[in-house]
Structure 1
């Protein structure tokens, strides 16, 4: 598989290699070698034929571009591959050449090759997620009591803990990692069904051949051929799409917090990273950009895969082929996003002073709910709400501070002065104390996530 310059920009060389032409073709040859060896062990074909077949199951021996071009004309990449393999075997032994690909079909080869490639792709994703979640959990532990603005509907809401926010980024990634492991255990199956999924040519030897092949390729044996039963395979793909969405959510938050007007976070810079050719003051969040690009594309890839599930009878026409073309794109995007965010968090700059400054700039208004709840215990909720509503309007008009306005209001009201301990008012407006509830939740979840990550 070749990728465009723009796809390459958004993914990683490691993931490109997993799905490149040579890797897929070699995985197809791995299938043919495992098939021949398994059939020889079960007495279906001669052992000498299996040895000869195995000796030329090496992609480097073949003209891969020519096989791909011939596959377009034949309607399946496996057809010219098997033809070329048969020619190579015949050069050594004509009789052995008659046993190439015995009892199998083109979809068996291609599906199993994609399973083998996907297994390697999942290892890359799992390793990357392990690194990323470890960085997030470490940062969360460091910032459990760091006050930061929580924002709802894109507006400042209340004070929360930055550690709580980090835990909220890490948890979906850890759930995705676990779901991918569970789903891959079900979906990474050998495909071996023969022409219409019945393994008719192999007769009663079919199950034993399948088991030997699965053992050799370290795959699960399917209950039956899944030529047009794509449910488990699709669930695996959808988990990658969901993971990419979670990465996009994190990248969205990171990029918003890195805006110049907010400046609470910054991606690492230097060596030309995130620079602008025309505006040297800019510090572009390029890791977030790559993750967001992946998240923007994932829904379309997922939709195309789901649309391809309605495969006709025992072999799909057009939809299976569309699935094969779409499948790698999910993994290319996901790994590009993971690697980009790992680079960001490895050198993430957390500006706690700016976080505090952004809180202070809101004149205490983000503590209005806490103040209202405190007052409600003395004067009732409706009265407390009405008082705070009046005071917040005054603060906005006068550019004062809510804590000062509330203190004055209590001192000027004899009834309130008797009922309210004015010495506790300032505590209500302390950003660090305001993180208490978020910190408690984050600590509990962080402990659980740290245990799960071991």
Structure 2
């Protein structure tokens, strides 16, 4: 579909496309034949003839997909085409193509093989995006900016504090996806009902050899209707998409012209408008937000497909196959877009400070009330500052100046709260320093953890 590709990355489209999936199915068939030959179940010559024919470029992939829709699975037309190709090489070998395996074995294992390459892309790009955001924190982390709650200005924080809130979920997601992937990336080989009965005494040895040759985990049994580990991986991918969407949402809001605190990189027509030459649209945020909208439904479909009938599901397993690739494509599309943008993300500290100043000091009202409460009690202090805030809004003045004038009129409070101390409460750098001090150890720990993850990528050799 055109918009699936539009919202995905070219790399993930390539590892998930029809030809890549068919080649993964053929990789299963080649590994099955060689493992059976190694166990003495079929002749070695037959295994090599089968493996030699397992090249997707030799097959009409589109015809196999269309025929698969007619007969109920793409495995049947593929095995038929493979058998015919092997027969041209060795008629005897054609008799043992796909011997002892079943449709779900080849499709589940192929799904795992293509998913591993997509996960390698996800893991690789997380190890690029996270350091890019850490670099922004190093360069601009102390900059004061507005913290916003319920879409309204609240108090002053620092950019580093905000970035820590972006980075932490990404580091956690990378760790959890690795753990979930280690469990889910496993061989499927159970035969008709999961017992490998057709292979008799050779079944266990064939499975062990296949798992080793395909570099997949060897499960204790077939998982034809045990979908928990694969679905758990899907859930972790959905959580990552949500975390990417949160970052994208913040970027898009901070990049609004009237806010102007961040801007995505531009140039070469990126972010342009077909009608308005001045536009600079946050297209990376757009892509990530689109993924955040779409992935919950895909994850929900995976969860909904889990109650599968007996030893082989009807309709639910097929729905899972269709959704899982789309989930991977959406997640990597979002990640790739934000990774590209993060390296050139522009920060405007002066605009951040102007946005603070434009609020007439109202974002310091809590600090003023807390300090006054030490002298006159919390309730009276709250009432006092509430009145001052209304006066500042009405007059268009600054809360600091309004408070200083009120202080001058209040003999009791004036004796307890020096004017210089009151004025200092409106220094934007003070709460920003506090926020940065809170964020600093977290950012240091995240940087160390991210570096450990970067040094030990689990799936990059399969790209």
- TM bucket (normalised to shorter chain) is over 0.9
Q: Aligned to 1:400, which of 397, 412, 427?
A: 397
- Which position in structure 2 is the counterpart of 1:242? 239
Identify the range of structure 1 (63-72 vs 240-249) with the bigger mean alpha-carbon deviation: 63-72
Pairwise mapping of residues 256-275 of structure 1 onto structure 2 (< 5 A)?
Answer: 256-275=253-272
**Secondary structure, aligned partner of 1:453:** helix
Whether the 8 Å CA contact 2:287–2:333 is kept in 1: the answer is yes
C-alpha separation between the residues in 2 aligned to 1:65 and 1:280?
Answer: 42
Whether the 8 Å CA contact 1:28–1:112 is kept in 2: the answer is yes
Whether the 8 Å CA contact 2:388–2:399 is kept in 1: the answer is yes
- Which position in structure 2 is the counterpart of 1:279? 276
State the Cα distance separating 1:223 from its structure 2 match. 1.4
C-alpha separation between the residues in 1 aligned to 2:411 and 2:223?
Answer: 79
Moved segments of 4+, more than 2 Å = 141-144
State the Cα distance separating 1:267 from its structure 2 match. 1.0
C-alpha separation between the residues in 2 aligned to 1:142 and 1:379?
Answer: 42
Whether the 8 Å CA contact 1:147–1:159 is kept in 2: the answer is yes
The yes-or-no answer on 1:172 pairing with 2:169 is: yes
Q: Aligned to 1:71, which of 68, 78, 81?
A: 68
The yes-or-no answer on 1:10 pairing with 2:7 is: yes
Instruction: Give the superposed CA RMSD.
Output: 1.1
- Which position in structure 2 is the counterpart of 1:146? 143
- Which position in structure 2 is the counterpart of 1:383? 380
C-alpha separation between the residues in 2 aligned to 1:419 and 1:221?
Answer: 73
The yes-or-no answer on 1:108 pairing with 2:105 is: yes
State the Cα distance separating 1:113 from its structure 2 match. 0.4
The yes-or-no answer on 1:351 pairing with 2:348 is: yes
Whether the 8 Å CA contact 2:12–2:121 is kept in 1: the answer is yes
- Which position in structure 2 is the counterpart of 1:37? 34
Pairwise mapping of residues 82-161 of structure 1 onto structure 2 (< 5 A)?
Answer: 82-161=79-158
Residues 280 and 92 from structure 1, CA distance in 2 versus in 1: closer, same or farther, beyond 3 angstroms? closer
State the Cα distance separating 1:378 from its structure 2 match. 2.0
TM-score by length of 2: 0.95
Q: Aligned to 1:202, which of 194, 199, 204?
A: 199
State the Cα distance separating 1:8 from its structure 2 match. 1.4
Q: Which structure 1 residue ranges, 5 or more long, are not aligned?
A: none
C-alpha separation between the residues in 2 aligned to 1:69 and 1:376?
Answer: 75
Pairwise mapping of residues 303-318 of structure 1 onto structure 2 (< 5 A)?
Answer: 303-318=300-315
C-alpha separation between the residues in 2 aligned to 1:20 and 1:257?
Answer: 36
State the Cα distance separating 1:185 from its structure 2 match. 0.4
C-alpha separation between the residues in 2 aligned to 1:333 and 1:348?
Answer: 22
State the Cα distance separating 1:92 from its structure 2 match. 2.1
Whether the 8 Å CA contact 1:240–1:330 is kept in 2: the answer is yes
Whether the 8 Å CA contact 2:140–2:347 is kept in 1: the answer is no
State the Cα distance separating 1:61 from its structure 2 match. 1.3
Pairwise mapping of residues 325-364 of structure 1 onto structure 2 (< 5 A)?
Answer: 325-364=322-361
C-alpha separation between the residues in 2 aligned to 1:144 and 1:88?
Answer: 62
TM-score by length of 1: 0.97
The yes-or-no answer on 1:233 pairing with 2:233 is: no
C-alpha separation between the residues in 2 aligned to 1:48 and 1:343?
Answer: 49
Ranked by relative contact order (alpha carbons within 8 Å, sequence separation 6 or more), the top structure is: 2
Whether the 8 Å CA contact 2:15–2:114 is kept in 1: the answer is yes
- Which position in structure 1 is the counterpart of 2:290? 293
C-alpha separation between the residues in 2 aligned to 1:7 and 1:68?
Answer: 18
Instruction: Report how many residues are paired.
Output: 451
